[in-house]
Chain A
Amino acid sequence: MRTLALILAALGLSLVAHTSLLFARAPDADRGARLYDSRCVGCHSLDTNRIGPRHGDVFGRTAGSVADYDYSAALKRSEIVWREDTLDAWLRNPEDLVPGQKMNFRVSSAADRGDLIAFLKRAAQD
């Protein structure tokens, strides 16, 4: 009986774990703003080019298209448009998406990427 209860409890726990993976929470742009401030601001700003290009209007923009930023040749000719899916792939591993790019910074958590993208999308609409 005790064993059965333990097994059921374990099953219940793993079920909870699975559903939370399957039904990921909605992207949170406010959390994305805080993540942006700690993870991206070392190299990027919304309204000025710094180590990386400016981001205020990056959502919906064509990759490598800010005129006065010195992009890698690879990103310039990539013809990518920055939307949810392309940004997610870029942040997961920029080199996989665009071999020869020069950002190289990765965001390993899918939830973090989703929140960051929601923030960039909101910033482009403002």
Chain B
Amino acid sequence: MSSTNNDGAAPKLPARRAFLQTTGQAALSATAIAMLVGSESLIRSARAADASKDVSILNVALALEHEAIAAYQLGAESGLLQKPVLDVAVQFQSHHKGHRDALVDTIGKLGGSPVSSKGMGQYAAELKANTLGSQKDVLMLAARLEKGAANAYLGVIPAFQDPALAQVSARLAADETMHWTVLAQALGQPLPANPLSFGA
């Protein structure tokens, strides 16, 4: 990419990255201390500890995404969703598959092992798919799970060691919020009366 394509955005980027890195070091206290002390082995073990904390958060997020994919699968296969709604459900499921792939990739890069998906039968039991009798039931389940997922991603943000991963969590929350908004509209549910209704 040539720098002329960036329309002046390029000079800002390094500064922003430097800022993120500085705050990152402040949060990565164990690593930062190890770096100050200058011990290579300490730095390595502190980094590993920091990464393993983040991996554990990401793996819970991955479990949530596996479940979301399964929930839309159950909805799509239920025969309860009519055409325009079915298409939207399939599109949301594809977003969740994208989230899954991004999380699997990140967990791998951090040296962790990504949790695998449970079987469809188990998801059906855990989500009580047998109680779904109409398109509205499916949409209500999807809306609850999406709102829950948005809040879950917001509520784990302070626990990340790496601010870049905290930002990923916020971006995932934004996607889930978009899904929830569409589902709530389809269900005729009112938008929240108050601001800051999501999160912590």
Interface of A toward B, CB cutoff 8 Å: 37-43, 45, 48-51, 72, 95, 102-109
Contact = CB atoms under 8 A, between A and B. Distances in A.
Contact of B145 (A41, A48, A72): A41
Contact of A42 (B53, B57, B127, B148): B148
A20 B56 CA distance: 38
Contacts of B40: none
B151 A42 contact: yes
Given A48-B126, A107-B155, A41 B60 contact: no
Contact of B155 (A45, A50, A105): A105
B156 A51 contact: no
6 contacts: A37-B148, A38-B198, A42-B147, A48-B125, A48-B127, A103-B60
Contacts, number: 66
Tell me if A's interface is mostly helix, strand, loop or mixed. loop
B28 interface: no
A98 B9 CA distance: 44
Contacts of A103: 60
Q: Which bracket fits the contact residues of B?
A: 20 to 34
Given A37-B148, A38-B147, A102-B57, 15 more contacts: A42-B148, A42-B149, A43-B152, A48-B126, A49-B126, A51-B63, A51-B67, A95-B53, A102-B56, A102-B60, A103-B60, A105-B155, A105-B159, A106-B200, A109-B200
Contacts of B60: 43, 51, 102-104
Nearest to B150: A42
Nearest to B144: A41
Contacts of B148: 37-43
Interface string B136-166: 0000000011011111100110110000000
A95 B67 CA distance: 24
Contacts of B93: none
Nearest to B65: A51
A109 B200 CA distance: 8
Contacts of A38: 147-148, 151, 198
